[in-house]
Amino acid sequence: MGFLQPLFLLFLFLFSHQAKAEDFNSLNNATNYLSGRKLGGRCNLFRGKWVYDASYPLYSSSTCPFIDSQFNCQKYGRPDNSYLKYKWQPFSCSIPRFNGLNFLEKWRGKKIMFVGDSLSLNQFQSLTCMIHAWVPNSKSTYIRRDGLASVTFEDYGVKILLFRTPYLVDLVNENKVGRVLKLDSIKNGNAWKGMDALIFNTWHWWTHTGRTQPWDYMQEGNKLYKDMNRLIAYYKGLTTWARWVNLNVDASKTKVFFLGISPTHYEGKDWNEPSKSCSGEKQPFFGVKYPAGTPLAWAVVIKVLSRIKKPVNFLDVTTLSQYRKDAHPSAYSGEHSGTDCSHWCLPGLPDTWNELLYAELFS
């Protein structure tokens, strides 16, 4: 099992009061189960390699009206474009080419919502651009206010929505206490109901500390914590989300997806080039195994999804995204200062996430 063995043992140690080794023989079996159960046991779309394809990208950033400046790398001066030309190729099958007209026809009159942090925004804008490229003259309406956004393709009645919530669980301001991250509470979930598909994502903000940490305390039940192990906190938060899904989702009406951990590339030691970051990278990592291994947060996701009662499709994009050290905005993110090795250029990697979403929606 390679690097998965110590990862699995650590995970059992962290959550031994709840985890059972017999649930799955290994984390590898678990992820194959989660990734493949809605594909009828066919090819694992998430194991493969990046190949050059001159027919990519699927749209131009100059003609899509939905891209934020922080993702619009070409507009803000990125001098190379080879990162746009890579296609994800599974080892033993192929991903269907995205067809925006087919998407609109099959999804006519339906609503799909992305729920999560700024990486959900990244994926939301990617999908709207992918569809728009197929119907550039079709009427669309873009509404954005506070943490909500939507694009409606009026001729088809298709609405793509975004609900921004960095932790999925509640973050509230309380008198005399301050900002509290409530690990066992989801009060915004009513806004997620009535969708035909939900795509959830969270992890990025769970690691923030110091000035960038947006909470003062964590709370579970009546107990406040100044801090706790972030993986344990993440597990508790995801368990609350899983409980919400079990109680509120009608699987006959709503397809649920969870996007795997989106990696960062700030530290070149992760791919055996310790003096580097994503800045200036022009091609993917082409090795057989990514040197940094699988993030521990991925194991938390696997554990929660393996125990959830309602069907959830796992978009296991972590490994394929780890290979894409070349695909971040770095210094080409508009008015955003510094080097961004967390988000992704558009067009770019999130288009592949959505090709995989497309494959699972219509498989």
Pair 69, 131: CB distance under 8 Å: no
Give me the amino acid identity at 164: R
Active-site position among 35, 61, 118, 342: 118
Find the distance separating the first CA and the last CA of the chain, reported in whole Å: 30
Radius of gyration for the chain, computed over Cα atoms and rounded to the nearest angstrom: 20
Q: Which of 140, 340, 342, 351 is catalytic?
A: 340
Positive or negative: CA dihedral 151, 110, 41, 52: negative
Q: Is 252 a catalytic residue?
A: no
Answer yes or no: are the C-beta atoms of 15 and 299 closer than 8 Å: no
Separation CA 179–CA 199 (nearest Å): 27
How far apart CA 96 and CA 101 sit, in angstroms, is 14
Per-residue tokens: 84 = 């746009």
Q: Known catalytic residue: 336?
A: no
Our answer to whether residue 330 is catalytic in this structure is no
The residues annotated as belonging to the active site are: 118, 340, 343
